[in-house]
Chains A and B, each alone.
Chain A
C-alpha cells in the first residue's frame, strides 16, 4: 500500500513536468505547425543560466524568474532568426533546424558549464510530507511543482479563452492569411507563441532539475515523455497537455514500480502507439483541427 501511494504520488509529480513540456510543444505546434525538438534543450539552457546566477550569490526566486524570462526571450529569438526565414518551405526544414538547435545548445552548455552532472537546488524542502505516520514520496517542493504547472495551464487557457490577444493568437494559428487580411500581425503572434512555449519549457527545466542528474542532457528523456504527453493530450489543448502529462507520468511510474524501470521508455512508446492507433487526435483533440 505504501509502495502504491509512493508510486502514485511520484507519478503525479513527474506527470506535471511532462505536462509543462507538452504545453510548450503544443503552443509551438499550434502556432507554427511544427514540433520543436529543442524545447527540452532550451529549458536546460535557461536552467543552467539560473544555476550560474545561483552560484554567483543571486537568490533563488530572482534566478527562477530570470530563467523564465530568458526562456521567453530565447524562444522569441529562435522564432525570429531561425524559424521565420523557413516559412513557406517544406515543414521538415524547421523541424530539422530544431534538432540542430538541440545539438548546438547541448554542445554550448557543455562547453560553458562542463559535461559534469551536479545538483540543482529546489525551491522548498524535498523531504517527503508525513501522512499518517509514514513519510510519502511527495514533498513541499512537489506541492509547489504541481501548483506551478496548474497555474501555468490555467493562465494559458484564460489567455486563449477570455482575452483579445488569445483570440487573435487562435485566429492567426487557424488561418494566417485571413487573419493578416483582417489586420492581425500574425508574425508577432507566432513570436509570442514561441516565447510562451519556451517559458513553459524553462519552467519544466527548473522544476525537474533538483531530482535529476543536472547536466546538459538531463532534459532529453523528459522531452520524449513530454512529447508522449503532448500527443496523448491532442497537441493543441492546454488541458489536454495536463491530462496527457498525468497519464504519461502515472503510466511510467507504475510500469517502473511494478514491471521494471527498463521498460519505462518502452511503455511510453507503447502508449504513444496505442493513442495514435485508437484515437489519433489525442484524448482532447478534435479530428478536423489536426492535420499530420
Chain B
C-alpha cells in the first residue's frame, strides 16, 4: 500500500520539476534579475516568513551510530541558539533529522519523505558516502539544495550535480597532507597501510600514495566495514611481519580501536598516523578501554586508552577540542551546554559535537549571506560566491565556487601527547594536542601541498556576545 502511494506521488515532483525547468528557461531568456527572485521567494518550498524547514538523514541507531549520532543534535543546538535570538531575517529554523541507520535504501525512502511530506527547503548535513550517493540524483533532479554532506568523498564536487556540496576537506586532500608530512619526517622508514575498503579509505590512500614513495610502502591491508565487529588481528600481524615502522590508518573510530587493540596485544607499537575521521580521542578512547584487566577496569581503563593513543599523529581542519583557550572552542562549549544539555552531559565537546556545531554555523552564515529574499537559487549563489568570507572555525577558508563544491581544503598535522597536558570529557581524560606543522592547503588533483598564508578567522562579535 505504502509502496503504491510512493509511486504515485513520485510523478508529481517530476512534473513539478519539469514546470520549474520550463520557468527557469523562460526566466533566463527574459534575463530578469531581482524581481523574479522576489516573486519566487513568496512560494519557495520550506520557507515562510517565519520559518525555514531543513532536513537530514543521519545514523542515530545501528553500527555506524557511535559518535556520528551526536552530530545532528549538536547542529540543532546551533539552530536553537539562532532561534533564541530571533532567527535569521525573522525566520526560525526547524531541523528534521531522521535515522537512516547508515542504510542507503532507508536514506532514499526518508529523503523522499523529507522532500514530499515535510517540504524541506534544503537537505543539510546528511551523513555518509553510500547513503548520500543514493539520493544525489534525486535531490538534484528535484533541485533541492543538498548541502554540507558529512563525508569527505571526492564525489561531491561535480558539475553534473550543482545542488550538492561537501564541507569537510576531501579525503584525498587530507591524505595528501598526511603523506606530505610523512614524506618529510619519516624518510627511509617502512610504511604500512590499513584502510577501510570503501571510497573513504581508498580516497585517503590515494592522497597518501601521491606523496609517499611507493618503495617505502611495505604492506597494504584493508577491512570490510559491513562485517567489522572483531579485532583486526590478522591485518596487524601482517603489518608487523612486514616490518612496518609507520602505520597509516584510514579507519572509522571503531576501526582505529579494533586495529590498535590487537597490535598492542602482539607487542606491535609502530608510529600511528591516523586520518582525522578515525582519530578523535574522546570517541576512540572508550573503545580502547577494554585493553585492561577486570581488576583494574574502572581505574585504569582511561589511563591505558590514553597510553595507546599517546604519540598518535593525525590531521585537523578546525581547532582541537583540547585547546580550551581557543575562542571558538569556548563558544562551542557554551552553545552545547545551553542548548543541548543532555548531549553536553554525555559527551561534552568531542570531535563529533564540534563538527556538528561548525557545520551548522557554516550553514547559518550561508543563510545570512543569501539575504532576506531566501530562495534555493539565492542560497546556492551565496555559497558559490561568498563562502570565502564566511567566518567559521576552519583553519582555511571554505573554497566553494560555482565549479568547486568542496568546502575546506586545508589541514594541519598534530600529535596527541600527554606532554602538553590532558583534556577531560564525560567519557574520560585524553592526551592533549601538539601542533606539528603549519596549515597546509592543496587540491584533490596533482597540485602541490602548500603552506596556507592566511590567518584563522576570529569569532564574530555577535556570536561571542550571544552564545
Contacts and interface: CB of A to CB of B under 8 A. Distances in A.
Given A211-B261, A217-B229, A120 B290 contact: yes
Contact of A257 (B231, B238, B267): B238
Contacts of B230: 14, 208, 211-212, 221-222
A215 B261 CA distance: 16
A110 B221 CA distance: 32
Contacts of B61: 110, 115
Nearest to A256: B234
Nearest to B305: A119
Contact of B238 (A3, A14, A139, A213): A3
Nearest to A17: B230
B290 A261 contact: no
Contact of A117 (B223, B231, B254, B265): B254
B266 A118 contact: no
Interface stretch (A121-129, A172-180, A189-197, A231-239): A121-129
What interface size band does chain B fall in?
35 or more
A215 B221 CA distance: 25
Contacts, number: 162
A2 B239 CA distance: 11
B238 to A, nearest CB: 6
A149 interface: no
Interface stretch (B87-95, B104-112, B149-157, B291-299): B291-299
A153 to B, nearest CB: 22
Contact of B287 (A10, A55, A118, A264): A118
B266 A135 contact: yes
B295 A60 contact: yes
Contact of A6 (B69, B228, B229, B266): B266
Interface in B256-281: 257-258, 261-262, 264-267
A130 B301 CA distance: 23
B371 interface: no
A253 B305 CA distance: 26
Contacts of A265: 224, 227
Contact of B222 (A3, A10, A135, A261): A261
A122 B238 contact: no
Given A121-B293, A215-B66, A221-B229, A262 B234 contact: no
A2 B233 CA distance: 13
Contacts of A119: 257, 286-291, 301, 305
Interface residues of A, number: 54
Contacts of A110: 61
B322 interface: no
Contacts of A127: 264-265, 267
Contact of B267 (A59, A135, A209, A220): A135
5 contacts: A116-B66, A119-B301, A122-B290, A126-B265, A211-B230
A83 to B, nearest CB: 27
Interface string A119-147: 11111111110100011110100000000
B76 interface: no
B235 interface: yes
Contacts of A218: 229
Q: Which of B231, B266, B288, B301 has the most CB of A within 10 A?
A: B266
Contacts of B223: 261-262
B294 A123 contact: yes
Contact of A116 (B65, B229, B232, B267): B65
B235 to A, nearest CB: 7
A221 B224 CA distance: 12
A208 B123 CA distance: 40
Contacts of A134: 267
A93 B258 CA distance: 38
Interface string A199-222: 000000000111111110110111
A3 B69 CA distance: 37
A186 interface: no
A253 B234 contact: yes
Q: Report which residue of A110, A116, A120, A209 has the largest number of chain B beta carbons within 10 angstroms of its beta carbon.
A: A116
Given A118-B289, A121-B294, A264-B227, A128 B265 contact: yes
B62 interface: yes
Nearest to A127: B265
B75 interface: no
* Interface core residue of B229, B234, B258 (most chain A CB under 10 Å): B234
Interface pairs A-B: 5 shortest CB-CB: A60-B294, A119-B290, A135-B267, A6-B237, A119-B289
A140 B304 CA distance: 18
A102 to B, nearest CB: 14
B100 to A, nearest CB: 13
A138 to B, nearest CB: 9
A57 B295 CA distance: 11
B235 A215 contact: no
Contacts of A60: 294-295, 297
Interface string A239-277: 000000000000001001100111011000000000000
